[in-house]
Each structure stands twice: as C-alpha cells, then as structure tokens.
Amino acid sequence: MDLFDLAVKNAPSLKERFEELIKLGRPDQPKALKEFALTIASSGRICVNMKQMTLIEFLTFGKYMNIYEWAANRAHLSGRQVTEVIQAKLGRYYEKRLAFDGFFDNSSGFHCGALSVGGLGATWYGDHCAVFNDSVSAGRRDVAYLRSDSVDTYLTEDLDLDKAAIAHDVAPHTHRQFLAAIKHSEQVLAHPTQKWPQLLCNDTEFVEVIFAGDAEASDLEKIRMARSDYEAYFDYGFEDLRGALSDADRYRVSGFVMMLRLLEDRKIPLELVDD
C-alpha cells in the first residue's frame, strides 16, 4: 500500500467533511474550527520529541535516523545482521512492528513525528521538542498525517491493518488542518486558543506524521524545552560548585552544555516553554 498516494486521494473527502462540520456545527463552533484549521495550516510543523542524547546525536551527525537506519548503522559497527539488531531492540514488539510496516511500500524509509503548533509535544518520548521547518513537509509528496498513533490506532489485535480506517483518516500535508479540525471538532470550542498547541499534541494525543526521505539537522527550525528543565540545569551547576552533585547529574550538565554548543554552532534557536 502506498500511504502517501492514499493520503493524496483522501484529500477531497477530508475537505468535504470539514466543510460539512462548518455547515452543521453548533453556534460559534464554525468560527472556532475555521480559526483552528487556519492556525494549523499556517504554523503546523512536524516535530519529534527527543531526549538529551538523542538530540545530541542528531545535532552531531546531522541526520534523523529511523529504527532501520539506526539498526543498519549498528549492524555495520558490530558485524551483526540488521534483523538481529532490530529484533533485540524491539523484543516482544518486533512482530507487531514488522506486521504494521509490512503493509506499506518502502516503510523502511519512514520517519515518525507529530503535528505541532507549539508547546512541548509528546514529552513521554523526550523532553526536547525538535521542530522541523516547513521545507521538510511543504512541497513533498511523501508526507502523511494520521489521526493518532498509527500502530495503536490502525493495527488490529490479530495484527491486521484496518485499511478502511486508515484510508478514511490519512491526509496529505496540504490537508492536515482538516484532519486535525475533524479530530478535535468537539474540543476546540472548549479550549482557549492558547491551549490549542497542547490540545493538538500532548503525551497521549497527537496527529502522527509519517514522512519518507531524509530529515536533517539543517532542517530544524527550533528546539523547544520546558523552562523548568532549563532552570534546573543551572541549579545543578550551583550544586556542582557546592560539591553536592552526583556523577550522573554532572554528566547531565555536560550533556546540556554540549547541546547548547551544538545549537549555537548550527544557529538553531532554543525556545523555552512555560510548563
């Protein structure tokens, strides 16, 4: 199955469904939904949450690797088979992942992210939110947006793909705002505009983005991190000079400084988000 082709084919249907919602919506809902969709169309970006070392690796080598690329790299260094490396990493999730990826053409080149208009993203997976600039998605055919976490949403318990559901939801880049607005049509009105970033992308809910092709550090627009985390590193610094910092925390401070240097070298802004 060509996921990206499916997304392009589904575009008219998504627009129709969005317009239907606007027509039939409760008072005030159409205005809020239109504004929500506009916000996403103008500032919706692909973001990927990363932990400190993942981000350092990305900024150092300049390439965002998916599990297949990572495994190929690891296999090359260790002399093991790629499959063996992936199997060891995924453990009991190996078959599920293989089953899901097996339904799609060229899935070994897929990268995953989430649609974001601000905020810290899905912090379960990393406390730094790497935001890619528009060039990663705009004008590229090989980008598809899905309603939620793909494996969790579209893979059935007997490891079959819910093709009808995926065909119903999937959106190309140009229509991602309609997918998001349809998904959140019931909640948009209840959330003030400044809460929309968290509504769209948080730990448990996000519009998943699958894209193929390279994503490089030079494509980064910014890195977001929690202001409280940023401040905590400076407090670690104080404790270190007081002689009260553990080795592990000292390594974290080193990592933080490394990250700041790399961001500076690459001229990537660090945005602090109040959490």
Residue span binding another protein (CB under 8 A) among the ranges 13-21, 129-137, 182-190, 247-255:
247-255
Sole binder of another protein in the list 168, 246, 269, 275 (CB under 8 A): 246
Sole binder of another protein in the list 63, 250, 268, 273 (CB under 8 A): 250
**Is position 156 an interface residue for another protein (rule: CB under 8 A)?**
no
Residue span binding another protein (CB under 8 A) among the ranges 87-95, 173-181, 191-199, 212-220:
87-95
Residue span binding another protein (CB under 8 A) among the ranges 11-19, 31-39, 118-126, 169-177:
118-126
Residue 79 CA to residue 93 CA, distance in Å, equals 23
Cα–Cα distances in Å, from 240 out to 234, 244, 248, 254, 260?
10, 6, 11, 11, 18
Whether the CB-CB separation of 254 and 156 falls below 8 Å is answered with no
**Is position 267 an interface residue for another protein (rule: CB under 8 A)?**
no
**Is position 159 an interface residue for another protein (rule: CB under 8 A)?**
no
Sole binder of another protein in the list 119, 121, 126, 172 (CB under 8 A): 126
Nearer to another protein, 186 or 247 (CB): 247
Sole binder of another protein in the list 203, 265, 271, 275 (CB under 8 A): 203
**Is position 238 an interface residue for another protein (rule: CB under 8 A)?**
yes
